[in-house]
Amino acid sequence: MINSIMQLLVSGLAMGFIYSLVAIEYTLIWNTTGLLNFSHDKLITLGAYVFVGSYSLHLGLPIPLAIVCSLLTLWVFGALMALVIFIPLRKKTSTLFAIMGTILVGKIIVEGIRLLYGTFPMKLTGFLAGTVHIGGTAIATAYIATIFVSILLVAALQFFLHYTKAGKAIRCVSQNQKAASLMGINVNKSIMVTTGISAAICCVIGIMITPIFTTDLNMSNMIGLKGFSAGVVGGFGYLPGAIVGGLIIGIVENLAISILPSVYKDVVSFALLILFLLIRPSGILGKKA
Amino acid sequence: MLHTIKQHNKVAYLILIFAIIAIVPFIINDDYFISVMNQALINGVVVLGLNFITGLTGQMNLGTGGIFALGAYVSALFNVALGLPAWVGLAGAVLMGFLIGMCLGYPSLRIRGVYLSLTTIGFTEIVRLLLNNLVGITGGTQGVQGIAPFRIFSFAVQGHRSNYYFILALLVILSWVSYRIVHSKWGRALKALRDNPDAAESLGINISSVKIMAFTLAAIYGCIGGSLYVHMTGYVNPSMFTIDLSIKYVIMLMVGGIGLVRGNIIGALIVTLLPEALRFMGDYYQLVFYIIVLLGAIFLPDGWLSIVGVLKEKIFTGNSKGKAAKT
C-alpha cells in the first residue's frame, strides 16, 4: 500500500513538473504578447519528433548532441513563428482571431509533422529506460530524470529572467509594453526571444516525455490541455503559480487513481480547471483580478 | 427606406442560397456527394447556433463538440434505450441544449476571452471522457447502434435524398428563426454586448440574461444538429467529439463571415465540401486547407466572400484600406 502510494506520488510529481513546464512555457508568451498559444502542444510534439526522428534515428547523433541540436532547432523555429505569426496576430483587436490563429498554427505544424515523418509512431529504445529502487519502491528512471531536469530548468529560467539584460527586457515587456518601448527596448525582438525560449522549453518537454509516451501525432494533446489547467489552478500569467498549479494537478490526478477508477484520471484535471475558474479565477497564488 | 431595401436584399440572398441548395441533387446525381451535403447542412444548423454566442457576442466558445455530442447521445438513447420515437429524441435534445446553455452560460458571466475558451475546452473533454467511460449508459467506445430514423406519419426519413430534404427543411426553419433573432431587439443587444458591454448595460440591457440566452440558443441549435446527425447515420460513437470538432465549427463561422446568417450556411458548406474539392492534392490537402484558413483569418476577417467587396473597392476607388460591408 505504502509502496504503491510512493510510486503514485513520484509519478505524480514527475508529471506535475511536466505540467508546470507546460504552464511556464505558454505563460511566457501570454505575458509578453497577450496571446494564449494554443499551438503549444504541437510544439511539444514537434520537439519530440525532431529529437527522435531527425537527430537520433535519422542522423544517428549521440543523445547529448541530439538534445542540443533539437533545442536549437526549436528555438529558431519559435523565433520565426513569432516573427511571422504572433507579432501580426497581436495587433488583432478581436480575441477570436488571435485564438483561432494560434490554433490554426498548431494544425499546420501537425500536418507538417505528418507529411515529414509519416503516421507511424516512433520509439527511441534505451533512452532513459529502466527503473531505480529506492527503499524497496521501483521508480522509472525517466520520472527521476524529469524531476531533476525540471528543477534545473526552472532555476535557469529564473536566473535568466532576473539577472541578464535580455531576461530583464522580457520582464519589462510583460509588465508594460509601451513603457518598455519608450525605454528603448525592442519589443518585437523581446517577443521573438521569448517565443524562442518557450519553443525550446516545449522541446525539453517533448524529449522528456519520449520515454513515457510513444512519439506519435497525439502524444501531447492531454499534456497541453492539462498545462492550461495547471496555469489556471496556480494563478494565470504568474510563473510561480504555474509551477505550483502543475505540481497540484500532477499529484492530485495521480492520487485520485487510488480512489476513483483509473479511467477518470483525466477528468480530474478538467474538473479542477472549471471549478477554479468558477470559484477562484485568480488561482491559488494569483492576485485578485 | 434604404434600410428596408437592405433588409430585403439579405432575405433575398438567403432565399437564393436555399433555392440553389434545393436543386443541387437534381444537377449532381451522386449518392456520396449528397451524403456529404447532408453533413454540410447539419453543420449549418450547428454554426447558426454558434453564431449567437461566438459571432454576435464575441465570446469564444470551443465547447460545440461537447454540445453536439450530448444532443446526439440524448436523442440516440431516448430512441434505443427507452424506445421512444425520434421526434421525442429531438425534443429531449432541445431540453438538453437548454440545460447546457444554462450551465455554460452561468460561468460565461464571470469569465471571458481565453478563460471562456479554456472552460469550454474542459467541458468538451469531460463530455468525451464520460461518453467513453460510462459504458453502462453510453456503450463506451462501441457507441450506440440501431438508431431509428425520423418518421413523418408513416413515412420514414431514410436514404440520402429524403434526409437531404428533411434536413434542408429544418435548416430553412431554423435559419428563419435565427434571422429573426439576429435582426430583433435581442440580436442588437447581443451585438451591443460585443462592442461595448458597459454602454449596453447603461442603456438598460440586462447583460446576464442576454448572455445566458445567447448560450442557450447556441446549445439548443448544437443539440438539434446532434439529434439530426444520429437519426441520419443510425450510429454514434464518441471518437468524433473532440476539440477538433469544436475548432472546425469555429472555422466554418470564420470562413462564412462572423455574424451573418447567410455566412453561417455558406461557411458550413465551404468547409464541409472543400476537402472533397481539394482531394486531388492527396496528403497535402489538410495542410493547404489550414494555411488558406489562417491567411483568411489574417487578411479577410469578414469571411471569404468579403473578398468580392475588398477587390471591388480596390479596383473602383483605388483605396487599399477597403472594408467589406458589415451587418
Please indicate, yes or no, if residue B322 is contained in any of the structural domains: no
What is the arithmetic mean of pLDDT over A95-105? 86
**pLDDT the model gives residue A263:** 78
Cβ atoms of B253 and B267 closer than 8 Å: yes
Side-chain half-sphere exposure of A234, counting CA atoms within 13 A: 29
Contact flag A266-B250 (C-beta cutoff 8 Å)? no
d(CA B141, CA A65): 43
**Total of domains in chain B:** 1
Its domain, for residue B90, covers: 2-317
Q: pLDDT (tens digit, 9 = 90+) per residue, A149-204?
A: 999 999 999 999 999 999 999 989 888 888 888 988 888 899 999 999 999 999 99
3-state secondary structure of B284: helix
The long-range contacts involving A127-135, CB below 8 angstroms and separated by at least 24 positions, are A127/A56, A127/A63, A127/A210, A127/A211, A128/A211, A129/A211, A135/A6
Q: What is the DSSP letter of A122?
A: B
* Chosen from A103, A269, A272 to mutate, greatest number of chain B CBs within 10 A: A103
Q: pLDDT (tens digit, 9 = 90+) per residue, B233-256?
A: 989 999 889 888 999 999 999 998
- pLDDT category at A239 given cuts 50, 70, 90 is confident
d(CA A113, CA A268): 30
Nearest CA distance, B275 vs chain A (angstrom): 14
Contact flag A274-B107 (C-beta cutoff 8 Å)? yes
Nearest CA distance, A248 vs chain B (angstrom): 17
Cell numbers at A272, concatenated: 479542477
Does the CB of A223 have a partner CB in chain B at under 8 Å? no
Q: pLDDT (tens digit, 9 = 90+) per residue, A253-285?
A: 888 888 888 778 888 888 888 888 888 878 888
**pLDDT the model gives residue A24:** 92
3-state helix, strand, coil in chain B (%, to 5): 80, 0, 20
d(CA B53, CA B281): 35
Share of chain A above pLDDT 90, in %: 35
Cell numbers at A182, concatenated: 519608450
A109 to chain B: closest CA residue = B287
Cβ atoms of A213 and A15 closer than 8 Å: no
Cell numbers at B99, concatenated: 440545460
- Give the rounded distance of the alpha carbon of A106 from its chain centre: 14
- pLDDT category at A289 given cuts 50, 70, 90 is very low
**pLDDT the model gives residue B323:** 47
Q: Which residue has the higher pLDDT, A35 or A68?
A: A68
Contact flag B118-A277 (C-beta cutoff 8 Å)? yes
Does the CB of A162 have a partner CB in chain B at under 8 Å? no
Nearest CA distance, A41 vs chain B (angstrom): 13
B135 to chain A: closest CA residue = A263
**pLDDT the model gives residue B3:** 60
A:109-138 residues touching chain B, CB 8 A cutoff:
111-112, 114-115
CATH (domain of B76): 1.10.3470
Cβ–Cβ pairs < 8 A, chains A and B:
102
pTM attached to this predicted model: 0.88
Nearest CB to B115; choose among A92, A94, A281 = A281
This model of the complex carries an ipTM of 0.85
Name residue, grid cell 432575405: B11
Nearest CB to B297; choose among A97, A225, A278 = A97
Range picked from A89-98, A128-137, B104-113, B225-234 for highest mean pLDDT: B225-234
Contact flag B111-A277 (C-beta cutoff 8 Å)? yes
To the nearest 10°, report the CA torsion of B107, B108, B109, B110: 70
d(CA A205, CA A208): 5
Mean pLDDT over the full length of chain A: 87
Sorted by sequence, the CB contacts under 8 Å of residue A197 that are 6+ apart come out as A28, A75, A78, A157, A160
- pLDDT category at A44 given cuts 50, 70, 90 is very high
Positions in chain B short of pLDDT 50: 320-327
Contact flag A101-B297 (C-beta cutoff 8 Å)? yes
d(CA A209, CA B110): 36
B113 to chain A: closest CA residue = A95
Contact flag A273-B283 (C-beta cutoff 8 Å)? no
Task: Indicate the domain borders of chain A.
Answer: 8-224
Please indicate, yes or no, if residue B324 is contained in any of the structural domains: no
Q: pLDDT (tens digit, 9 = 90+) per residue, B66-117?
A: 999 999 999 999 998 888 888 999 999 999 999 998 888 777 777 767 888 8
- pLDDT category at A113 given cuts 50, 70, 90 is very high
- Contact list in A for residue B284 (CB cut-off 8 A) is 115
**pLDDT the model gives residue B327:** 41
